[in-house]
Amino acid sequence: MSDISVIAANHKVTGTISAAEDLLVQGRVEGRILSDATLVIDASAIVEGEILARHVIVRGVVVGDISAVEQIEVAPSGQVLGDLRTRRLALKAGGRISGLVHTGIEVAAHTGQTGARAQTNWRQSTGAARPAAAPAVAAPSRSWSEEVVETGPRAATGSPDVKKTKKEPSRETM
Whose Cβ is closer to another protein: residue 17's or residue 52's?
Answer: 17
How many residues of this chain bind another protein (CB under 8 A)? 28
Q: Is 11 in the site for another protein (CB under 8 A)?
A: yes
CA proximity to 69, closest of 161, 173, 149, 163: 149
Whose Cβ is closer to another protein: residue 85's or residue 110's?
Answer: 110
> Restricting to residues 19-58, which ones interact with another protein according to CB under 8 A?
19-21, 23, 27, 31
Whose Cβ is closer to another protein: residue 119's or residue 141's?
Answer: 119
Query: What is the nearest approach in angstroms of another protein to the Cβ of residue 117?
Result: 6
> Restricting to residues 81-120, which ones interact with another protein according to CB under 8 A?
114-115, 117-118
Residues 6+ positions from 132 with CB-CB distance below 8 Å: none
Please, what is the Cα angle at 28 between 22 and 33, to 5 degrees? 45
Q: Is 124 in the site for another protein (CB under 8 A)?
A: no
d(CA 171, CA 169): 6
CA proximity to 110, closest of 47, 38, 6: 38
d(CA 91, CA 73): 6
Query: What is the nearest approach in angstroms of another protein to the Cβ of residue 22?
Result: 8
Query: What is the nearest approach in angstroms of another protein to the Cβ of residue 82?
Result: 20
d(CA 64, CA 23): 18
Binding residues vs another protein (CB under 8 A) = 1, 3-21, 23, 27, 31, 114-115, 117-118, 121
